Structure 1
Amino acid sequence: MEELKWGSVKSFLETIHIETGERTTLATFDQVVEAPNWTKDGKLIYNRGGKLYSFDMQTDENTFIDSGFATSCNNDHVLSPDEMYLGISHQTNEDRQSRIYTLAREGGHPTLITPMGPSYLHGWSPDGKELAYCAERNGKYNIYTIPAIGGVEKQLTYTPGLDDGPEYSPDGRYIWFNSTRTGLMQVWRMNVDGSSQTQMTFEESHNWFPHISPDGQHVVYIAYQKGDVAPDDHPPNKNVELRLMPSSGGKSRMIVELFGGQGTINVNSWSPDSKQLAFVRYELS
């Protein structure tokens, strides 16, 4: 996936309270940082320059997570439900295609899960047994699942156009994703077996990466302006919105306007109490 050029921007790691709108800047970087995961013990795991780091919100300390040979990670990484493991998407040296690996959260040797690439991880099932990801196979990008220990992948979507960003609902009933099948990128939901694929947003914007709150009540996603980008593209350096909607469907509302896009909220960054979000905004230098 496309990355911002190092040195071209400043990155601001922020949080926002979804009810009050209060924003807090936690850290500023003179480098590109991307895609924070919010842990139950108050840390944010993010990507920087192909490597993973942990930011402690109590001490403001940044800790490198040693992922062994996997030093070309992109911004598609998730935590296991028990937060003992990380799933990462690493551009393998052989062909520079993204493949999915798992390793201990504190660091360790990565285990290959998807032999075929490119594969971009987005979801880990609540029971810990499956991973959901976007993958290109035979020239088409669709949604797949695979056992978290590796095995045979299962294709869930077949509709023409790009399907991306699959994430499990906390109750394990659904996989949320985004799709261009209507001409605009919109948010969709399906059963975990791929059945009952249902459109959830109907807006004049391109909506990416739905993330479901831990209590299952809300979904946040990033919206690009219609006409500003192609439906199947999610570049950096754009004026975008973070939008919030009920998980049952219905009208959304804008909670943040910012300069960002790629890297801002590629992965689930809800706080454990479902009251706040972490995200990254950028400024051109």
Structure 2
Amino acid sequence: MKKLYLFISALILALSANAEKLTSFLEIINIEDGSRRIVKTFPHKIEAPNWTQDGKWLIYNSGGKLYKISPDNPQNPVEINTDFADSCNNDHVLSPDGKEIAISHHSKEDRQSRIYTLPIEGGKPTLITAAGPSYLHGWSPDKKTLSYCAGRKGNYDIYVISATGGAEKRLTTAPELDDGAEFAPDGQIWFNSCRTGLMQIWRMNPDGTNQTQITFDETRNSWFAHPSPNNKLVAYLSYQKGDVKPDSHPANKNVELRVMNCDGTNARTIAKLFGGQGTINVNSWSPDNKHLAFVSYKLESE
């Protein structure tokens, strides 16, 4: 299902490109006061910015490749060498020590997404998941484990695997879509699931036990929970109920960037924007816990 919606979203975007021009805005928002700053405007699609551990770079994907850009001196983005992996999607994750990056790359042979790791400065990727499709989302604090959403026998669930490869372990079994599995600094895994009818934010132990619903908002479908570095706040993206199917996170929609406490209290909207797929697919917190990086978009008739 996830693969189908990703394909449909990409197809719609490709078809609309003949009549409309897409502009991407790489932005930073202050969590406290909601002030926004555009780092750079791109005349094409970019997606999923995340901060390096030292705060000096934002890494994003565009056209199947990865780039880094300085949030303070953004004139010249730098391409990260990913060797043969030139069909990366917006599921790149940085290792806790900042030395490596994990990616999801679609192979030319079967077009299935699989997970690889490589040095943060670039290099030849190492295959981690033999089976596809596998969509990366998290890296454990001890650097030993990767978490991801995978389609196996027609159902998409959350899996974990050693960061060096090996046998994968299935953590969720709900027939509905479970997605966006990301490790928090305390080792818990945050994810989103539409097992209750709407897409909601959940949390579980790293072994899959104690799966607990965190959001109960019947007006929104919520995706991609990202815990802050100090583990006090969680950022996530929401679509209005009825605007999309619960198991879909398409591009080019009016969405809300929201933040809540890690216990689910004090959930609030900090920004409304045109975006969705590509806006905050990865953890985009600044190292100081004060800002989020994200991408908003604009479609204009040519």
Q: Is the shorter-chain TM-score for this pair beyond 0.5, marking a shared fold?
A: yes
1:149 Cα shift? 0.4
What is the TM-score of this pair, normalised by structure 1?
0.98
Partner of 1:25: 38
Which of 154, 163, 168 is 2:183 aligned to?
168
Partner of 2:173: 158
Partner of 1:233: 248
1:282 Cα shift? 0.1
Could you tell me the percent identity over the aligned residues?
Answer: 61
* Unpaired segments ≥5 residues, structure 2: 1-5
- Tell me, in whole angstroms, the C-alpha distance in 2 between the residues paired with 1:155 and 1:149: 17
- Tell me, in whole angstroms, the C-alpha distance in 1 between the residues paired with 2:161 and 2:298: 38
Is 2:108 the partner of 1:93? yes
Which of 50, 65, 68 is 1:51 aligned to?
65
- Tell me, in whole angstroms, the C-alpha distance in 2 between the residues paired with 1:202 and 1:34: 28
- Tell me, in whole angstroms, the C-alpha distance in 1 between the residues paired with 2:260 and 2:42: 30
Larger mean CA deviation between 71-80 and 242-251 belongs to: 242-251
**Aligned runs of 1:1-285 on 2, under 5 Å?**
1=6, 2-3=9-10, 4-5=13-14, 8-41=21-54, 42-60=56-74, 61-172=76-187, 174-203=188-217, 204-285=219-300
Q: Is the partner of 1:254 in helix, strand or coil?
A: strand
1:169-209 deviations in whole A, cap 9, x for unaligned?
Answer: 1121x100000000000000001110000000011210000
- Tell me, in whole angstroms, the C-alpha distance in 1 between the residues paired with 2:127 and 2:91: 15
1:58 Cα shift? 2.8
Please tell me the residue identity of whatever aligns with 1:119: S
- Tell me, in whole angstroms, the C-alpha distance in 2 between the residues paired with 1:154 and 1:127: 18
Aligned residues: 284
* Unpaired segments ≥5 residues, structure 1: none
Q: Is the partner of 2:48 in helix, strand or coil?
A: strand
- Tell me, in whole angstroms, the C-alpha distance in 1 between the residues paired with 2:72 and 2:223: 30
What is the TM-score of this pair, normalised by structure 2?
0.92
Q: Is the partner of 1:69 in helix, strand or coil?
A: coil
1:22 Cα shift? 1.1
Q: Is the partner of 1:8 in helix, strand or coil?
A: strand
1:251 Cα shift? 3.4
1:103-161 deviations in whole A, cap 9, x for unaligned?
Answer: 11111000000010000000000000000000000000000000000011000000110
- Tell me, in whole angstroms, the C-alpha distance in 2 between the residues paired with 1:83 and 1:232: 32
Please tell me the residue identity of whatever aligns with 1:161: E
RMSD: 1.0
Please tell me the residue identity of whatever aligns with 2:41: T
- Tell me, in whole angstroms, the C-alpha distance in 2 between the residues paired with 1:205 and 1:248: 18
- Tell me, in whole angstroms, the C-alpha distance in 2 between the residues paired with 1:142 and 1:266: 17
1:59 Cα shift? 2.1
Please tell me the residue identity of whatever aligns with 2:45: V
